[in-house]
Amino acid sequence: MAPERNYDAIVVGAGVFGAWTTYFLRKAGASVLLLDAYGPANSRASSGGESRIIRMGYGADEIYTRWSMNALPKWKELFGQAGRPELFQSTGVLWIAHENDKIALATLATFDRVACRYEKLSLGQMVERYSAFSFEPDCWGILEPDSGVLMARRAVQTVVDEAQKSGAVYASDQVRPPTVRSNKLDQITTRDGENYSAGTFVFACGSWLGKIFPDVLGSRIFTSRQEVFFFGVPAGDRRFAPPQMPTWLKQRDEFYGMPDLENRGLKIAHDHHGPAVDPDTQSRTPTAEAIALAKQYVARRFPNLRDAPIVEARVCQYENTSNGDFLIDRHPQMENVWLVGGGSGHGFKHGPSVGEYAAVHVLNGGIVDGRFSLGTKESVQHRAVF
């Protein structure tokens, strides 16, 4: 469908936040144009790549636990609607905790408060169930049996497809940074000189937010390089596939991983924020230092993979706010422009909740939660959401 020239809303950015915002705006009856410079879940985007964890544990951050619990059934409903149920892999998610682990203990308290299903596992139970792991003597675990993995790239593309089926319009084009001329934005202009008008504009363009709004977000959005590796598992060894291996996180180590899904190998990633990068131009080739660190960690955590080869690698990025809270707020000078971003490495799973929340506020107004406001986003990082 060729783009028209005037819409109720234009969404810039077809990553997970922009795709779901478009979906819910259209579901509410708004006419919507979705634009992306490189395409939905492209290889430069934070929403690109094969897989993302969906888990409920957030320590005492109940808002994110509730949002994850709200998001998972919406993901599954959309996948069912599209005939793509395989885009959610029910692996379970295991938190590997240590004695007196404050975040893990706070997670248990939150789960009890919001009635989220979990199992608390002793060291012995983890050793019996998950024999491929090497655990320290003081380890214990929290298993989220209903959580798992979203097949990210295909998931976002499916959301965009379903939004288009409902009447949203998608086009691939680069949007020029808008110029503030009044308290409202009337139109946007693309690289090719096309002009599109709307009553409301939503910029959900992730790592590009700081480039499009340098004065407002240039010092408040931090784009960091993150490297991901897939290690080849031994032939015929099912200990690295579900259910013998769940998706897992170990916050003390700042590493997380996923089991052998779709025969791609064991996925390993370092959750520590990497160096600042430009999403358009950064090299997508893994560094020798990151390869060495991943190999060292795998050898320690999974002794049977000590000499395993890296069969795939990927370089992507996080798009961080100062503390990890999302950004969902109006532009400070243009009242009909909304800024939606700050996924901060944990946002993908929340796509349906973010999109639903943003769509309601775009259409109906109202004050956003203070944690998501622009005013709480600082120019110095102090990560507080994990």
Give tens-digit pLDDT for 123-158: 999 999 999 999 999 999 999 999 999 999 999 999
**What is the third-level CATH fold of 6-47+153-221+322-376?**
FAD/NAD(P)-binding domain (3.50.50)
Model pLDDT, residue 192: 87
Task: Report which of 89, 90, 93 is spatially closest to residue 151, judged by C-alpha positions.
Answer: 89
Mean pLDDT of 50-61: 98
Beta bridge partners of 263: none
pLDDT tens for 144-199 read: 999 999 999 999 999 999 999 999 999 999 999 998 888 999 999 999 899 999 99
- The answer on pLDDT for 41 being more than 80 is yes
* CATH architecture for segment(s) 90-148+222-317: 2-Layer Sandwich (3.30)
- The answer on pLDDT for 333 being more than 90 is yes
Tell me the domain boundaries of the chain: 6-47+153-221+322-376, 90-148+222-317
Model pLDDT, residue 4: 73
Residue 1 confidence class, pLDDT cut points 50, 70, 90:
low
The rounded distance, in Å, linking the Cα atoms of 340 and 69 is 20
The mean of the pLDDT values for the chain is 96
Residue 109 confidence class, pLDDT cut points 50, 70, 90:
very high
Q: How many residues does the structure list for the chain?
A: 386
Confidence (pTM): 0.97
Mean pLDDT of 74-96: 98
Mean pLDDT of 237-244: 96
